[in-house]
């Protein structure tokens, strides 16, 4: 159940005093750093990547949605320092763990969480606050984090220090919703832990949502992105059938979205990617398997989304066949290779399996993405097309719009490429040489 802030006197507790240490300075951790500095707190930003730390120290932001200007503003306060030295963490009284939790062979990999927790455990003091923001399966905070801290420090959460889970809700590239105006869920191992965590996060965000325990908070994050994964799978499967039936699925979705209740529009695409949607459902499935069951609904959705790159490759072959060309030997240009528009993040991008399938079929693959510095598939750098111009597009047989960045000159494709497969619906109805999924 949600904890009622108005009826719970414990939620007026003051947060731990002293500097805040943020472990992990990527898409999740860096916004926490800047918000903490903005609120007047002193902050220690920690990351094992010495190159990233060096860049941050000179005001260069590695995160698309956070500008160098915002980082310079934080540095100018004198309240933030960046380091790769674990000894610096000892000065903190609040610890926020924001390290990645990727999948390895489709299984959760919490090695970076474990390493971060061990660093915190070695310097943790009574009355400190520890918050885990990294996405994980239900039970991690109470089982893995609490037990490792107790094993190292003998400190028990709720008695000696406060321990909470507060899932990150960062949406890279979203200019409307940021850390400060996105409600923050907080679940502690005791009511007093929840109170301490809520007091800290109220300094960073406009709305804190306390819940009964870390397990509810952990599951809430997984539900949010599993909901998206399942609904994307629904339209991804529908787009295949609708094409066979001669139905414009985009028109169908627009029509359905006019209903003012009970419907939310989702759109088909070349697959799913990023640090959440392909990852979070796997954490639920893994945890359910530990109970001796299977989460068939989620696993089916993942299977559907995972096969979309192969479907896109099939569509490429069909379009080339329609003009009496073979995929083997044809020049195929991927437009955009990051996982979503207007970000440079390529983690779990469907561009990788798509390029892999096209190359295995003999296509000569190249790519264009002004936001991404390199595109390497299975250890092999894929040749880049730096600009979309007549001279660079003359030899392209087919272009695939994989990621529709707002900065792309897609008009050049219409003018200079004989066939365009638009996987995002951006160019629908613009010219005879454009087809959709």
State the DSSP string of 328-352: TT-EEEEE--SSSTT----TT-THH
Name residue 209's beta-bridge partners: 185
Question: Are residues 146 and 94 located together in one domain of the fold?
Answer: yes
Residue 355 resides in a domain: yes
Select from 275, 304, 333 the last residue of a domain: 304
Q: Are residues 191 and 313 in the same domain?
A: no
Let me know if residue 3 belongs to a domain.
Answer: no
CATH label of the domain that carries residue 63: 3.40.50.720
Per-residue model confidence (pLDDT) at position 281: 85
- What is the SS3 assignment for 59-98? CCCCCCCCCHHHHHHHHHCCCEEEECCHHHHHHCCEEEEC
299 and 316 fall within a common domain: no
Contact criterion met (CB below 8 Å) for 403 and 424: yes
The last residue of one of the domains, among 166, 181, 212, is 212
The total number of structural domains in the chain stands at 3
- Give me the CATH number covering residue 238: 1.10.1040.10
Q: What pLDDT is attached to residue 13?
A: 52
Q: Are residues 203 and 232 in the same domain?
A: no
Q: What pLDDT is stored for residue 3 in this prediction? A: 46
Looking at the structure, tell me whether residues 230 and 203 fall in a common domain. no
Residues 59 and 116 in one domain: yes
pLDDT at position 309: 97
Q: Are strands 331-335 and 208-211 parallel, antiparallel or unpaired?
A: unpaired
Alpha-carbon distance 288 to 285, whole Å?
5
Does residue 208 share a domain with residue 87?
yes
Same domain, 73 and 202: yes
Contacts of 68 (CB under 8 A, 6+ apart): 59, 60, 61
Task: Report d(CA 78, CA 43) in Å as an integer.
Answer: 10
Note whether residue 21 is domain-resident: yes
Q: Which sequence positions are flagged as catalytic?
A: 276
CA 241 distance to own-chain centroid: 29
Task: Say if 357 falls within a structural domain.
Answer: yes
**Which of 212, 243, 264 corresponds to the end of one domain?**
212
pLDDT number for residue 67: 86
Residue 268 and residue 403 in one domain: no
Q: What is the pLDDT along the chain (437 residues), one digit of tens a residue?
A: 454 443 343 444 555 567 999 999 999 999 999 999 999 999 999 999 999 999 999 999 888 878 889 999 999 999 999 999 999 999 999 999 999 998 888 788 999 999 999 999 999 999 999 999 999 999 999 999 999 999 999 999 999 999 999 999 988 777 788 888 999 999 999 999 999 999 999 999 999 999 999 999 999 999 999 999 999 999 999 999 999 999 999 999 999 999 999 999 999 999 998 888 888 888 888 888 888 888 888 899 999 999 999 999 999 999 999 999 999 999 999 999 999 999 999 999 999 999 999 999 999 999 999 999 999 999 999 999 999 999 999 999 999 999 999 999 898 888 999 999 999 999 988 888 899 99
- Domain presence at residue 217: no
Residues 150 and 260 in one domain: no
- Cα distance between residue 184 and residue 162, in whole Å: 17
Q: Which parts of 257-295 fold into alpha helices (H)?
A: 280-290
Where are the strands (E) in 224-372, listed by range? 331-335, 364-368
User: What is the domain extent for residue 296?
Assistant: 222-304
In a domain, 235, yes or no: yes
Asked whether residue 312 falls in the same domain as residue 298, the answer is: no
**Same-domain check for residues 155 and 72:** yes
At 16 the pLDDT is 53
Look at residue 70 and tell me if it is in a domain: yes
Please check whether residue 2 lies inside any domain of the structure.
Answer: no
């Amino acid at each position: 159940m949600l904890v009622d802030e108005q009826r719970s006197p414990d939620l007026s507790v003051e947060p731990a005093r002293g500097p805040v240490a943020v472990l992990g300075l990527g898409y999740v951790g860096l916004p926490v750093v800047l918000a903490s500095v903005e609120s007047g707190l002193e902050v220690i930003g920690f990351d094992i990547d010495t190159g990233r730390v060096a860049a941050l120290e000179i005001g260069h932001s590695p995160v698309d949605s956070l500008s160098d200007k915002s980082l310079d503003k934080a540095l100018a306060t004198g309240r933030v320092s960046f380091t790769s030295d674990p000894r610096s963490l000892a000065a903190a009284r609040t610890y926020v763990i924001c390290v990645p939790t990727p999948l390895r062979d489709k299984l959760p990999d919490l090695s970076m969480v474990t390493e971060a927790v061990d660093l915190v455990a070695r310097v943790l003091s009574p009355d400190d606050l520890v918050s885990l923001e990294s996405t994980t399966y239900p039970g991690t905070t109470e089982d893995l984090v609490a037990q490792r801290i107790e094993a190292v420090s003998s400190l028990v959460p709720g008695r000696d220090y406060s321990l909470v889970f507060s899932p990150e809700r960062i949406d890279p590239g979203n200019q409307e919703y940021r850390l400060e105006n996105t409600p923050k869920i907080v679940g502690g191992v005791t009511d007093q832990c929840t109170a301490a965590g809520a007091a800290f996060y109220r300094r960073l965000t406009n709305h804190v949502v306390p819940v009964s325990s870390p397990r509810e908070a952990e599951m809430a994050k997984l539900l949010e992105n599993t909901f998206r994964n399942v609904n994307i799978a629904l339209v991804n499967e529908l787009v295949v059938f609708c094409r066979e039936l001669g139905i414009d699925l985009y028109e169908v979705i627009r029509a359905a979205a006019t209903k003012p209740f009970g419907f939310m529009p989702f759109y088909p695409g070349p697959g799913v990617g990023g640090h959440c949607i392909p990852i979070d459902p796997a954490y639920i499935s893994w945890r359910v398997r530990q109970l001796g069951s299977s989460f068939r609904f989620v696993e089916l959705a993942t299977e559907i989304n995972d096969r979309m790159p192969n479907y896109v490759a099939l569509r490429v072959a069909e379009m080339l066949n329609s003009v009496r060309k073979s995929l083997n030997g044809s020049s195929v240009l991927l437009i955009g290779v990051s996982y979503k528009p207007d970000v440079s993040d390529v983690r779990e991008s469907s561009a990788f399996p798509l390029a892999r399938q096209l190359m295995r079929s003999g296509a000569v693959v190249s790519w264009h993405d002004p936001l991404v510095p390199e595109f390497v598939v299975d250890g092999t750098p894929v040749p880049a097309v730096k600009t979309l111009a007549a001279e660079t597009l003359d030899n392209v047989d087919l272009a695939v719009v994989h990621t529709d960045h707002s900065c792309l000159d897609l008009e050049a494709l219409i003018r200079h490429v004989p066939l365009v497969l638009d996987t995002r619906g951006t160019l629908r109805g613009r010219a005879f040489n454009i087809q959709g999924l």
